[in-house]
Amino acid sequence: MGKGNLHIDQPTPAELAIVRRTWDQVSHIRLADDDANVSSSLAFGLCFYNAIFREDPDLQKLFPNIMKQARALTGMISYITKPADNLGELEASMRELGSRHAFYGVKIEMFRVVGQAFVSALEERLEDKYDAETGRCWLKVGKPLLSSEYLSGNNTHAITAELGRRTQNTNSA
């Protein structure tokens, strides 16, 4: 597809509800081996980056401060899993995030590892509350963020508009 023609298979309100519900769970789950000084959501972020590095140790060079990176990740997840009040602000944040990823040398082929690591971290943190449907929903909702359009800065408007439509559909369901 050409620029401006990003097709996103829109998640259903039920799929969005699963994502929001499981993020709320992840944000409150404490595992026995969690550091007492680390929040539950930050523990997820650390788990996510550990999963990335298990899959591709070379990616570790992109992340000199893993604690800072995990905080940024979980803050962004919390931000984008809430209904959007200001789509312009969300669009600007997503554009900036895509530009930063490109600036730091992130390549589209690296996102395969990201998706796998994200599902792995969800599975580890949610334990018996995780099922394949949960992983599928997260990957579907996150698909626009795992695209070349996002990384290149193209179609950021289309991506955030789609996120806005998802929020409106969820709120009206």
Q: What is the CATH number of the domain that holds 123?
A: 1.10.490.10
Between the alpha carbon of residue 65 and those of residues 25, 60, 69, 107, the distances in Å are: 26, 10, 6, 19
Look at the block and give the residue holding tokens 């929001």: 20
How many domains, the chain?
Answer: 1
Look at the block and give the residue holding tokens 């949960």: 134
- For residue 122, the enclosing domain spans 13-172
Query: Does the residue 4 lie in any domain?
Result: no
CA distance linking residue 115 with residue 168, whole number of Å: 25
* Amino acid identity at 7: H
Query: Does the residue 2 lie in any domain?
Result: no
List, for residues 42-84, the tens digit of each pLDDT value.
Answer: 999 999 999 999 999 998 988 889 999 999 999 988 887 876 5
CA distance linking residue 115 with residue 146, whole number of Å: 8
**C-alpha torsion 9→4→117→36, nearest 10:** -100
Query: Does the residue 26 lie in any domain?
Result: yes
pTM over 0.75: no
